Amino acid sequence: MSEAMLVRRVVVGPLQVNCFIAACRATRQAAVIDPGDDAERILQVLADDELDVCCLINTHGHFDHIGANRALKDATGADLLIHRADAGLYQTAEEHAELFGLTTTPSPEPDRLLDEGDIIEVGSLSFSVLHVPGHSPGGICLHSQNHLFVGDVLFAGSIGRTDLPGGDHQALIAGIRQKLFDLPDEILVHTGHGPDTTLGEEKKFNPFVGARELR
């Protein structure tokens, strides 16, 4: 792990979303990525590490990744960020949750709409926004140093589902290969569900987008 970045994972909600806290060790500023649920647990981790939240970032707008947006924004005053193509999903999150027999808390409106190539500053850290649609229209990945936060774009040995409204299987495959796989093999991939992986591992062995699939 990079000495400059502190990363904490909090598994939240009934769908076991990985909420990540990515913080600058020098300044103690932090971004909370995908606060899907369990706001009190996330806030406790922030308090234990004495971190100051400067932004809340949704990698995409699906209900299981945004459920604690309101509580964390109310508690911290941090700006809420999402790609502009997914901002409308905030309005349909409750309806989407009902399809799974679940509920969610409506999100406040975003403070900043993100685009491909944007930079998010967190203390001395800089996160580059990579727009990788396919799981959702506005799905993004966040790259900083040796870390890549991918939401539901890529998993260890799998990829995000594309059968939900706005999904596009071919766009997802193309985005992973053209944008993510252009980065170094050693980059640590923090996924929206399940364990971490590396880009090198997925380039070689992922059955959907890896080298074996291309044979």
Q: Which run of H or of E encompasses 159?
A: strand 158-159
* Token pair belonging to 170: 């071919």
pTM for the model stands at 0.96
At 56 the pLDDT is 98
Class of 5-214 in CATH = alpha beta
- Give the dihedral sign, CA 96/172/42/73: negative
At 36 the pLDDT is 98
DSSP β-bridge partners for residue 53: 30
Q: What is the pLDDT of residues 193-215, one digit of tens each?
A: 999 999 999 999 999 998 765 54
Coil, strand or helix: which one is 96? Answer: helix
At 55 the pLDDT is 98
User: Phi, psi at residue 24, to the nearest 5°?
Assistant: -80, 120
Domain boundaries, the chain: 5-214
C-alpha 87: how far from its chain's center?
14
Residue 117's contacts (CB-CB under 8 Å, 6 or more residues apart) are 128, 129
Residue 52: Cβ within 10 Å count: 14
| Mean pLDDT for back-to-back runs of 10 residues, the chain (215 residues) | 85 98 98 98 98 98 98 98 98 95 97 98 98 98 97 98 95 98 97 98 95 57
At 2 the pLDDT is 45
At 3 the pLDDT is 78
At 175 the pLDDT is 98
